[in-house]
DNA sequence: GATGAAATCCGAGTCAC
DNA sequence: GTGACTCGGATTTCATC
């Protein structure tokens, strides 16, 4: 139910290296492998660790371009939001989608091969999505930081 | 140097589950464990897989609030950008930072405990960063999608 | 109720082919 | 690329505090 100092250290270590073996992890946090194993299990079972994922280098799989998009919907009804969100969930090039307060309704992060690819996506998909009034594009020129580990 | 069908399937599988054992992975892509092992090694060595990381549930470690911030710098000189970027790299609550073309210079994604925490960060850190003229805040009300797997 | 030691089992990693 | 072989870690059991 709660995280003690050892749990937190384990989370921090696994966050930076999800391939740590149980034996290595046990050494780093100064408990026996058996204890470490039980604690790790709990971190998964109780949802402290959502998943472990390999981070694929985007350029190596032809997804070198990032675009951020601010979206404004036509109407601010619950159905508008629901429609838009379900469309977003079906579009794999949309990596992030946040409902925000401010000048936009949503902020999207999109990964595509290149600008031509984005233009196609923009014209044929994005602005034809249900309820989209306006989509303001921010081409990303440099990824200074992306998905930094949580600091706790 | 290039990825065949099997490599890509391995990447996709490891992307969704980084804890797959070599034996399991081998079965899923229909090659022997030895072959699978060699291929996986290559995917790491040649940088197709940048790292494997545990995804920690942010709320469970007291980081339940997300804020997106659009930043405009005072001057558009190389030193301004460099100064700002190195400050950003030192701030662990800034998870993402993208240099963009458009109305902002940078878009940031920030994780904090709550609004009070963000207000403190905004007043004491963000607007005192070198070269920051303006910071427009977008509170995130819902994370519709966050860090979806790459689609290739 | 959590721990660590020991014992078993299975996969990682390395060979020859 | 496969198959076999060895070593080390994962996982369980159990006694202990």
Contacts by B79-83, CB closer than 8 A, 24 or more apart: B80/B130, B80/B131, B81/B105, B83/B130, B83/B131
The pLDDT, as a whole number, for residue A115 is 97
Mean pLDDT of the B74-92 span: 97
B130 pLDDT band (50/70/90 cuts)? confident
B1 pLDDT band (50/70/90 cuts)? confident
Strand partners, B137: B69
Angle at A84 (CA atoms; ends B69, A108), nearest 5 degrees: 30
State whether the Cα torsion A28-A31-A32-A35 is positive or negative: negative
Q: At what angle do helices B33-45 and B22-29 cross, to 10 degrees?
A: 100
Token pair of A82 as six digits:
């629901």
Mean pLDDT of the B123-148 span: 96
Interchain pair A55, B56: CB under 8 A: no
Instruction: State chain B's mean pLDDT as an integer.
Output: 97
Which residues from chain B sit within 8 angstroms of residue A151, using beta carbons? 63, 92-93
pLDDT tens-digit series, residues B97-111: 999 999 999 999 999
Which of these, A46, A35, A51, A135, lies nearest to B17 by C-alpha position? A51
B88 pLDDT band (50/70/90 cuts)? very high
Which of these, A9, A54, A28, lies nearest to B54 by C-alpha position? A54
| A124 three-class SS | helix
**Which class is B58-139 in CATH?**
alpha beta
Q: How far is B20 from chain A (nearest CA, A)?
A: 9
User: What is the Cα–Cα distance from A141 to B101, expressed in whole angstroms?
Assistant: 7
CB atoms inside a 10 Å sphere around CB A139: 16
User: What is the Cα–Cα distance from A95 to A97, expressed in whole angstroms?
Assistant: 7
The model carries a pTM of 0.95
Buried b (16+ CB within 10 A) or exposed e, A49-68: beebbbbbbbebbebebbbb
Contacts by A56-59, CB closer than 8 A, 24 or more apart: A56/B11, A56/B14, A56/B15, A56/B48, A56/B49, A56/B50, A56/B150, A56/B152, A57/B47, A57/B48, A57/B49, A57/B50, A58/A111, A58/B150
Mean pLDDT of the B127-146 span: 96
Which residues from chain B sit within 8 angstroms of residue A141, using beta carbons? 99-101
Minimal Cβ distance to B49: which of A55, A88, A89 = A55
The pLDDT, as a whole number, for residue B19 is 96
DSSP single-letter state for residue A49? E
Find, in chain B, the residue whose alpha carbon is nearest to that of A68: B100
A78 pLDDT band (50/70/90 cuts)? very high
Tell me, which fold does domain A5-45 have in CATH?
Arc Repressor Mutant, subunit A (1.10.10)
Q: What is the distance in angstroms measured between the alpha-carbon CA of B21 and the sugar C1' of C11?
A: 8
pLDDT tens-digit series, residues A79-103: 999 999 999 999 999 999 999 999 9
Mean pLDDT of the B15-33 span: 96
B25 pLDDT band (50/70/90 cuts)? very high
Q: Domain residues of chain A, as ranges?
A: 5-45, 58-139
Q: Is B22 exposed, middle or buried (0-12, 13-18, 19+ CB in 10 A)?
A: middle
| A150 three-class SS | coil
The pLDDT, as a whole number, for residue A141 is 98
In which region does residue B36 sit, left (phi positive, over 0), alpha (psi from -120 to 50) or beta (all else)?
A: alpha
CB atoms inside a 10 Å sphere around CB B104: 21
Residue with tokens 């159905």: A79
The pLDDT, as a whole number, for residue A1 is 79
Mean pLDDT of the A125-147 span: 96
pLDDT at B137 over 90: yes
pLDDT at A130 over 90: no
Q: What is the distance in angstroms measured between the alpha-carbon CA of B34 and the sugar C1' of C14?
A: 9
Q: How far is A45 from chain B (nearest CA, A)?
A: 12
The pLDDT, as a whole number, for residue B24 is 96
pLDDT tens-digit series, residues A6-57: 999 999 999 999 999 999 999 999 999 999 999 999 999 999 999 999 999 9
């Amino acid at each position: 139910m709660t995280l003690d100092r050892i749990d937190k250290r384990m989370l921090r270590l696994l966050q930076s290296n999800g391939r740590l073996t149980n034996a290595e992890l046990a050494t780093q946090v100064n408990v026996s492998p058996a204890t470490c194993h039980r604690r790790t299990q709990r971190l998964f079972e109780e949802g402290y660790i959502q998943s472990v994922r390999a981070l694929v280098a985007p350029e190596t799989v032809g997804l070198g371009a990032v675009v951020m998009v601010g979206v404004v919907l036509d109407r601010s009804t619950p159905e508008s939001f629901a429609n838009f969100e379900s469309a977003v969930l079906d579009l794999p090039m949309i990596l992030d989608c946040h409902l925000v307060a401010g000048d936009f309704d949503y902020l999207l992060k999109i990964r595509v091969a290149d600008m031509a690819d984005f233009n196609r996506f923009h014209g044929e998909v994005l602005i034809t999505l249900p309820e989209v009034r306006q989509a303001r594009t921010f081409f990303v020129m440099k990824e200074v930081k992306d998905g930094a580990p949580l600091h706790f």
